Amino acid sequence: METNRLILRSVLYLPANNERALAKLPTLNCDAVIFDLEDSVAPEAKSDAREQLRGYFQKAQRTAKTRAIRINGLDTRWFTEDLMAARACCPDAIVIPKVSSPHDLQLVEDALGETDAPPTIKLWAMIETPMGVLQVADIAGHAQKMASRLQALVLGTNDLFKEAALTGDAVRSVAHPWFMQIILAAKANAIASIDGVYNDFQDLEAFDRECGSAAAIGFDGKTLIHPAQILAANRNFSPGADALDTAQQIVDAFDLPENADKGVISLGGKMVERLHLEQAEALLARQAMIEVRAKEGEETL
């Protein structure tokens, strides 16, 4: 199965009505931005936020960043207008909060289909409720449907911990099995999985550790609430120098004529199989994509 090809190491939330933050966006080196119409926009400001977002998308220069819009949930009075506004902006993705079943995604896809929305508009499903975690295998499995728009799962830790009544410093350890369900569901269906936010944006050391642990268990990236978090996220979710060196050695070894037909070879005192070659090639391809994105980002600054 082909794996997800997006680079989503750093995914920055920005309130859709924060003109100052939007103006700074071209100078930020995040892989993606989520223009938020939901939690960060007060109820009385949502209409204005939609209009500001439409204006921004009409005028803003296209960059290498993936652009997503988070709308309000299906059960809110703002959903329909948010979805139509997001559709008009034609972003790379629309983020659906509190997805609890594949039916939620189908409703959004049907609505987009009725407006002849281009297939380039993808969906990111937020997993931020106990029901969402319990149903995550089926939610991720929606990606296998014909013409499915589902591209990523986004963990919403704040809401998830609230609804599960988890408190204290060890909540992530307690919730670790839930995280693994989300990651495995994403990988089984070749879509991305993005970790939740870290609220104390001033504690960059703790944030760096959380990024490292999230990358180690298989998340593809992390959602951010402040530009100061971008550097650590990009670093932790990029292949390390040692890993890249090992991957290149594996590829080079299998490229040797004497190893062309071998399923297993010896390299550095270890047995290396062709499945390791596939992993090495995928890692090098990911690094190449990161370098391309970085170059494109520099060209737009």
Tell me the per-residue pLDDT of 171-215, one tens digit each, with 9 for 90 and over.
999 999 999 999 999 999 999 999 999 999 999 999 999 999 999
- Percentage of residues of the chain with pLDDT beyond 90: 90
Instruction: Assign 209 to helix, strand or coil.
Output: helix
CA gyration radius for the chain? 20
Q: Is the pLDDT of residue 95 over 60?
A: yes
At 60, is the pLDDT very low, low, confident or very high (cuts 50, 70, 90)?
A: confident
- Per-residue confidence (pLDDT) for residue 63, from 0 to 100: 82
Q: Where are the alpha helices (DSSP H) in the chain?
A: 19-24, 46-59, 79-89, 102-114, 130-134, 136-141, 157-163, 171-174, 176-188, 204-216, 230-236, 241-255, 274-300
Q: Where are the alpha helices (DSSP H) in 135-199?
A: 136-141, 157-163, 171-174, 176-188
Residues 124-143, mean pLDDT to the nearest whole number: 98
Asked if 127 and 153 touch (Cβ cutoff 8 Å), the reply is yes
**Separation of first and last alpha carbons in the chain:** 36
How far, in whole angstroms, is CA 134 from its chain's centroid? 20
DSSP class of residue 66 equals E
- Which two three-digit tokens encode residue 291? 């370098």
- Per-residue confidence (pLDDT) for residue 283, from 0 to 100: 92
- Per-residue confidence (pLDDT) for residue 299, from 0 to 100: 53
- Per-residue confidence (pLDDT) for residue 64, from 0 to 100: 86
- Which two three-digit tokens encode residue 166? 């988890």
- Per-residue confidence (pLDDT) for residue 5, from 0 to 100: 65
- Per-residue confidence (pLDDT) for residue 2, from 0 to 100: 41
- Per-residue confidence (pLDDT) for residue 234, from 0 to 100: 97
- Per-residue confidence (pLDDT) for residue 294, from 0 to 100: 80
At 298, is the pLDDT very low, low, confident or very high (cuts 50, 70, 90)?
A: low
Phi–psi pair at 153, nearest 5 degrees: -110, 135
Q: Is the pLDDT of residue 62 over 90?
A: no
Give the whole-angstrom CA distance, residue 14 versus residue 56.
13
Sign of the torsion angle spanned by Cα atoms 165, 175, 133, 143: positive
- Burial of 134 by CB count in 10 Å (0-12 exposed, 13-18 middle, 19+ buried)? middle
Give the whole-angstrom CA distance, residue 62 versus residue 285.
24
Name every residue whose Cβ is closer than 8 Å to that of residue 129 and which is 6 or more positions away in sequence: 98, 100, 159, 160, 163
Of 235, 233, 236, 250, nearest in space to 284 by CA: 250
Asked if 238 and 287 touch (Cβ cutoff 8 Å), the reply is yes
- Which two three-digit tokens encode residue 50? 């939609």
Q: Is the pLDDT of residue 3 over 50?
A: no
pTM value? Answer: 0.92
| pLDDT digit string, tens, across residues 250-294 | 999 999 999 989 999 999 899 999 999 999 999 999 999 898 888
